[in-house]
């Protein structure tokens, strides 16, 4: 087809179109929905019995803060990735990776300065493992689907990244609720059954993004 | 006279800002923005003005042709331009008409160009693979090795296509690109075939 003919066709297809809602509005809506979903998930999973004591422990609080940061930064990046030019703030797309690296680094840092009590590192005998990864995945499923649906409303030129952000935010919600519910602070357990699966989910999200976020 | 400074990029010093010699404008109002006209046409298009939208697409087509001319063979340019125009049309709701327009246009253009190149390279790789199968199937694999010192005789033992490629590259002095054009093959396919031919000759020489 001739380019002139194509332009004539495009003009005929009514150019008037309502622009996508602003990123702040989208972010506010998403935060509300995810907060409601997270609270519901927390209601079903319950809270660990020593939650108050744990929150007064610096390492635990810092981990929770980093998880919350991971959720917010991934949400922001997923929203930015809906716009082809990332609203000319491409640096936002790098923040989730930085936060996740910080989180992983924080776990390894605690490992490096391991206290004499090996219980802080090694998992409790007979404790579960795979269930945690599956639980994070199960909790993340609905938010991930919601985020993928939202990103599809835009026009992402970085579908792999966008997919990974969507899943990272969703897995962040799963990880946070589980961390507040499960009374297991073993660093080995957290690394192997919480954060490595989160990374794997993000990679799966990137692959899914390549196929699901085509436009 | 006041210095014009973009609000988003802030390419002016703080001293200029505080001394009041700077006129702060948004990018779409910037009189020095050479793409301001296109942005205005696009905004009018979003509001439903088909003529303005058509002009925006026409003007963008010119930029795209110039951009792609440096990266694609002439025959492929129109295909990719059309692909980009359709993408701009599909994604027009992701621009509010307020922020600078051209980074948005170029982001979509780069995305579609990369898409096209990825497909083209994967097609080319497949063609090289098939060409190699054809060449190797045509080669006489039962022939015994000979230790000839004559390059002409060594060339004769090669499949016809490889022979022609080596002649073009090393006897007639063509570049891989030129040889590719003459033989209707891709540049990378020529290089791969030449490499394999040289490898065969080297094996026959016992090297």
Interface test with A, best of B94, B95, B106 (most A CBs within 10 A): B94
Instruction: Please list every residue in chain B whose beta carbon sits closer than 8 Å to the beta carbon of residue A15.
Output: 45-46, 48-50, 53, 89, 92
Question: Distance (Å, rounded) from C-alpha A155 to C-alpha A214?
Answer: 8
CATH of the domain at B129: 1.10.1740.10
Question: Between chains, do B54 and A8 touch, taking CB under 8 Å as contact?
Answer: yes
Tokens 């079903």 sit on residue: A44
How much of chain A, in percent, has pLDDT values that exceed 90? 67
pLDDT at B127: 66
Instruction: Write phi, then psi, for A99 (nearest 5 degrees).
Output: -65, -40
pLDDT exceeds cutoff 80 at B11: no
pLDDT at B167: 81
CATH of the domain at B153: 1.10.10.10
- Domain assignment present for residue A69? The answer is yes
* Contact by Cβ (8 Å): B43, A12: no
> Could you tell me which residue, A98 or B99, shows the higher pLDDT?
A98
Question: Distance (Å, rounded) from C-alpha A51 to C-alpha A29?
Answer: 29
Question: Between chains, do A157 and B108 touch, taking CB under 8 Å as contact?
Answer: yes
For A194-205, how does the pLDDT look when each residue is reduced to its tens digit (9 = 90+)?
A: 999 999 999 999
pLDDT exceeds cutoff 90 at A208: yes
Question: Are B55 and B67 found together in one domain?
Answer: yes
For B144-198, how does the pLDDT look when each residue is reduced to its tens digit (9 = 90+)?
A: 444 445 566 677 778 888 888 888 887 777 888 888 888 888 888 888 888 888 8
pLDDT at B49: 85
Which residue range is the domain that position A36 belongs to?
A: 22-212
Instruction: Please list every residue in chain A whose beta carbon sits closer than 8 Å to the beta carbon of residue B57.
Output: 7, 10-11
Which residue range is the domain that position B26 belongs to?
A: 1-33
Question: Are B104 and B118 found together in one domain?
Answer: yes
pLDDT exceeds cutoff 80 at B126: no
Instruction: Please list every residue in chain A whose beta carbon sits closer than 8 Å to the beta carbon of residue B49.
Output: 15
* Contact by Cβ (8 Å): A153, A20: yes
∠A42-A186-A105 over CA atoms, to 5°?
90
Point out the residue among B8, B86, B111 whose CB comes nearest to the CB of A84: B111
Question: Are B17 and B50 found together in one domain?
Answer: no
Alpha carbon of A34: minimum distance to chain B alpha carbons (Å): 24
> Could you tell me which residue, B190 or A162, shows the higher pLDDT?
A162
For B54-92, how does the pLDDT look when each residue is reduced to its tens digit (9 = 90+)?
A: 999 999 999 999 989 888 888 888 889 999 999 999 999
- Of the three residues B136, B157, B178, the one that is the final residue of a domain is B136
Mean pLDDT to the nearest integer, A65-86: 95
Instruction: Write phi, then psi, for B172 (nearest 5 degrees).
Output: -100, -10
- Of the three residues B136, B153, B187, the one that is the final residue of a domain is B136
- Domain assignment present for residue A90? The answer is yes
Tokens 């060409």 sit on residue: B131
- Domain assignment present for residue A179? The answer is yes
Across chain A, what does the average pLDDT equal? 89
For A109-135, how does the pLDDT look when each residue is reduced to its tens digit (9 = 90+)?
A: 888 876 655 556 565 555 677 889 999
Q: At what angle do helices A159-181 and A23-45 cross, to 10 degrees?
A: 30
Q: Which residues contact B186 (CB under 8 A, 6 or more apart)?
A: B124, B127, B128, B180
State the total domains in chain B: 3
Q: Which residues contact A183 (CB under 8 A, 6 or more apart)?
A: A48, A49, A50
Q: Of A116-120, A205-209, B30-34, B90-94, give the range with the top mean pLDDT.
A: A205-209
pLDDT at A9: 86
Question: Are B14 and B83 found together in one domain?
Answer: no
Question: Are B50 and B3 found together in one domain?
Answer: no
Tokens 């094996």 sit on residue: B203
How much of chain B, in percent, has pLDDT values that exceed 70? 69
ipTM of the complex: 0.84
State the total domains in chain A: 1
Q: At what angle do helices B36-46 and B50-69 cross, to 10 degrees?
A: 130
Alpha carbon of A167: minimum distance to chain B alpha carbons (Å): 22
pLDDT exceeds cutoff 70 at B27: no
Chain B's closest residue to A19, CA to CA, is: B93
Point out the residue among A3, A14, A17 whose CB comes nearest to the CB of B61: A3
Question: Are B127 and B41 found together in one domain?
Answer: yes
pLDDT exceeds cutoff 80 at A57: yes
- Domain assignment present for residue A188? The answer is yes
Question: Distance (Å, rounded) from C-alpha B70 to C-alpha B64?
Answer: 10
Assess B87–A contact: CB distance below 8 Å, yes or no.
yes
Instruction: Please list every residue in chain B whose beta carbon sits closer than 8 Å to the beta carbon of residue A7.
Output: 54, 57-58, 61, 85
Across chain B, what does the average pLDDT equal? 76
Question: Are B42 and B131 found together in one domain?
Answer: yes
Q: Is the dihedral of CA B28, B29, B32, B38 positive or negative?
A: positive
Question: Are B28 and B101 found together in one domain?
Answer: no
């Amino acid at each position: 087809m001739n380019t002139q003919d194509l332009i004539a066709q495009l003009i005929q297809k009514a150019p008037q179109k309502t622009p996508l809602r602003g990123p702040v509005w989208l972010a506010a809506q998403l935060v509300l929905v995810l907060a409601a979903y997270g609270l519901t998930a927390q209601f079903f999973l319950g809270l660990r019995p020593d939650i108050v004591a744990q929150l007064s422990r610096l390492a635990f609080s810092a981990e929770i803060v980093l998880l919350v940061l991971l959720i917010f930064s991934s949400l922001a990046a997923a929203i930015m990735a809906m716009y082809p030019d990332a609203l000319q703030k491409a640096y936002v797309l790098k923040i989730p990776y930085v936060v996740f690296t910080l989180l992983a680094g924080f776990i390894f840092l605690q490992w490096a300065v391991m206290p004499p009590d090996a219980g802080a590192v090694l998992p409790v005998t007979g404790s579960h493992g795979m269930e945690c990864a599956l639980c994070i995945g199960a909790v993340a499923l609905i938010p991930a689907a919601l985020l993928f649906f939202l990103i599809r409303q835009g026009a992402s030129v970085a579908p792999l990244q966008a997919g990974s952000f969507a899943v990272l935010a969703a897995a962040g919600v799963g990880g946070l609720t589980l961390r507040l519910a499960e009374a297991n602070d073993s660093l080995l357990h957290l690394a192997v059954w919480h954060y490595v699966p989160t990374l794997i989910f993000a990679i799966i999200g990137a692959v899914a993004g390549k196929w699901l976020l085509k436009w | 006279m006041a210095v014009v400074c973009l609000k988003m990029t802030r390419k002016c010093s703080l001293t200029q800002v505080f001394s009041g010699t700077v006129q702060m404008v948004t990018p779409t109002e910037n009189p020095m923005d050479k793409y301001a006209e296109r942005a205005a046409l696009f905004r009018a298009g979003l509001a439903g003005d088909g003529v303005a939208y058509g002009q925006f697409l026409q003007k963008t087509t010119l930029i795209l042709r110039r951009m792609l001319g440096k990266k694609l063979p002439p025959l492929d340019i129109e295909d990719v331009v059309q692909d980009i125009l359709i993408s701009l049309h599909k994604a027009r709701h992701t621009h509010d008409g307020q922020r600078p327009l051209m980074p948005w246009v170029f982001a979509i253009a780069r995305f579609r160009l990369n898409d096209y190149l990825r497909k083209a390279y994967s097609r080319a790789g497949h063609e090289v693979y098939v060409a190699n199968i054809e060449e190797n199937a045509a080669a006489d694999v039962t022939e015994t090795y000979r230790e000839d010192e004559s390059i002409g005789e060594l060339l004769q033992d090669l499949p016809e296509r490889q022979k022609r490629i080596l002649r073009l590259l090393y006897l007639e002095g063509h570049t891989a690109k030129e040889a590719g054009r003459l033989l209707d093959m891709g540049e990378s396919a020529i290089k791969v075939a030449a490499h394999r031919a040289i490898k065969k000759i080297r094996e026959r020489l016992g090297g």
